[in-house]
Structure 1
Amino acid sequence: MQLRDRTFLLLGGSGGIGRALIDPLVQAGARVLVASRMIPDSALEGGDVIQVQLDLAATDLPQRLAAISRDWPDIDGVIHCAGQNLFTGIEDLPTVALDSMLAVNLRSSLLLARHFVPRFRKQGRGALVFVGSTFGSIGFPGYSAYCATKFGLRGFTEALRRELADSPIQVLYIAPRATRTAMNPDAVNDLNQALGNRMDDPVQVADQILAAMRGDQVRRYLGWPEKFFVCLNGVLPRLVDRAMLKQLPVIRRFLHSGVS
């Protein structure tokens, strides 16, 4: 994928992985529209970085996307790395948190594709890049709702890529493992440390995303041994069941630590 002279709409660019993508994209010669539901951050503005307000959980998201398209008709790529999660048992899952995860992690991805696919067809090129998660392939205790949205995202991107296989539109799916972002509460960071799970820096993840884009790699899973467990879970899920059963007492200790 050529990055120079492209205009990307970057979702989730105000923090974490998204923010780490901004400078490398600009250095590669792209213009970046950083979409966030928050008030624009003046520290991000300037040069080839433009901020736009967009609430991915908004009920009128299709209309808001149409407005952005009218203002920026040269958008020819979308990078969706916005997301929400919650580490909690299913019996303690608030309905409002479930609705928000479904809206931001999954619904917005489908609506973005529905909006931009016709535009990209007409333009003769376009890229839809979705940042998923290892938890989109491996169900993990305490993340049942989050896993549901990420499993859904992975399935959606796979179907969409096959649907658009005879078009000039590229569909990429990149699945990071645990990443050090502000989205993780202390209980999650402590759990990863207790289980010996490695956590990547957002800059490392951003580098991998750009590598996948440059190499037209339609799916990329990040981290070892997480990539191995994704494959193992696909063919021998009972082995992963047994491994997680052994970890369950530790997971429950942090799940009920009072921090979510």
Structure 2
Amino acid sequence: MTSQIRLLDRTAVITGAAGGIGRAIAESLARRGCNLALADIDAKGLEVTARTMAASGVRVSTHRLDVSDAEAIAALPAQVLASHPGVDLLFNNAGVALGGSFEDVSERDFDWLLSINLQGVVRMTRAFLPLLRRSDDARLVNLSSLFGLIAPPGQTAYAASKFAVRGFSESLRHELAGSSVGVTVVHPGGVNTAIARNARIHANASPQEIERSRVLFQRALTMPPQVAGEIIVRAVERRRARILVGRDARIAATLERLAPISHWRLLERISKSKASRRPPATRSGRPARTGA
């Protein structure tokens, strides 16, 4: 194998491709001449992504898919092969968010999140691994999260799923060592996608609490998805086993390694220090003028 993966004329399957990081990954791959099989539950968003890719001249197929549906996933490889000669890359990107403490979140909602964020990854991997093995140079890319490195309060379900994706990916990497299939796990930090706006909040939350949670979460999502997508694809090209996307992910990974128990207190101090340095807001929401 060469030191860098050649993406020209390869085929990549991407879940969650209707927007956000999934669409950005598709754009970065298309610029490199990689053909695309785009999957998402959002059919309209998929068509927008597909139209965006059309100018690149690559082969694009779209597949409406609910990654919590085991039968739909099992049927997907045959559908992809109807449009493409094979599969060389699989990006398990689809995911959802759920806010609330463990005691507030219902078992039904907890299981709903795991069915998408974890079982979707496992089932997609099981379905497509035989096709990836047929490739002479394949890559499985699983999207974990900043919350697959650290686990803040109010994110028990999401953190559980993303730590599990991390563990699944790292174990599978060892199992596939020496084969033509490499495994990459990605930990994006605050990427500006719709995940906060679309997140479920526990049933006991008031409308005010829901809005406050979404606003606070959205403020932390600052990196444009196009930047994140390019970082991910560039690192996949270089066969990186682990990708930390954003300064926040790099800081969290370092603190967790240095202080595996007390890192959350350190992060809270950093957050409070940043907040205290922000200019006070006026009633309009704009920073107030300070100084002369």
CA RMSD of aligned residues (A): 2.5
**Cross-structure match for 2:216:** 191
Aligned-partner Cα distance in 1 for 2:135–2:24: 28
> Aligned residues: percent identity?
29
1:80 to 92, 95, 99: 92
SS at match of 1:238: coil
Aligned-partner Cα distance in 1 for 2:29–2:152: 32
**Cross-structure match for 1:224:** 247
Aligned-partner Cα distance in 2 for 1:184–1:165: 36
Pick closer, same or farther for the CA change 1:37–1:233 going to 2, 3 Å: same
- The letter for the 2-side match of 1:74 is G
- The letter for the 1-side match of 2:173 is R
Q: Is 1:45 aligned to residue 57 of structure 2?
A: no
Aligned-partner Cα distance in 1 for 2:7–2:136: 16
Pick closer, same or farther for the CA change 1:99–1:216 going to 2, 3 Å: same
Please report how far the alpha carbon of residue 10 of structure 1 lies from its aligned counterpart in structure 2 after TM superposition.
0.9
**Cross-structure match for 2:207:** none
- In structure 1, runs of 5+ residues without a counterpart are 250-260
Consecutive aligned runs of 4 or more in structure 1 exceeding 4 Å deviation: 244-249
2:104 to 92, 109, 118: 92
Please report how far the alpha carbon of residue 61 of structure 1 lies from its aligned counterpart in structure 2 after TM superposition.
4.0
Please report how far the alpha carbon of residue 246 of structure 1 lies from its aligned counterpart in structure 2 after TM superposition.
5.9
Please report how far the alpha carbon of residue 199 of structure 1 lies from its aligned counterpart in structure 2 after TM superposition.
2.4
- The letter for the 2-side match of 1:54 is L
Larger radius of gyration: 2
Provide the TM-score with structure 1 as the length reference: 0.85
**Pairwise mapping of residues 1-260 of structure 1 onto structure 2 (< 5 A)?**
1-40=5-44, 41-46=46-51, 47=54, 48-71=59-82, 72-185=84-197, 187-188=212-213, 190-191=215-216, 197=220, 199-243=222-266
Asked if 1 retains the 8 angstrom alpha-carbon contact of 2:65 and 2:73, the reply is no
- The letter for the 1-side match of 2:188 is P
Moved more, 207-216 or 55-64: 55-64
Pick closer, same or farther for the CA change 1:217–1:181 going to 2, 3 Å: same
Please report how far the alpha carbon of residue 78 of structure 1 lies from its aligned counterpart in structure 2 after TM superposition.
0.8
SS at match of 2:9: coil
- The letter for the 1-side match of 2:63 is V
SS at match of 1:83: coil
Number of corresponding residues: 247
SS at match of 1:174: strand
SS at match of 2:48: coil
CA-to-partner distance for each residue in 1:93-147, whole Å, 9 max, x for gaps? Answer: 1333222211111112112222222222233332111121110010111111100
- The letter for the 1-side match of 2:48 is A
- In structure 2, runs of 5+ residues without a counterpart are 198-210, 273-292
Aligned-partner Cα distance in 1 for 2:261–2:48: 48
Provide the TM-score with structure 2 as the length reference: 0.76
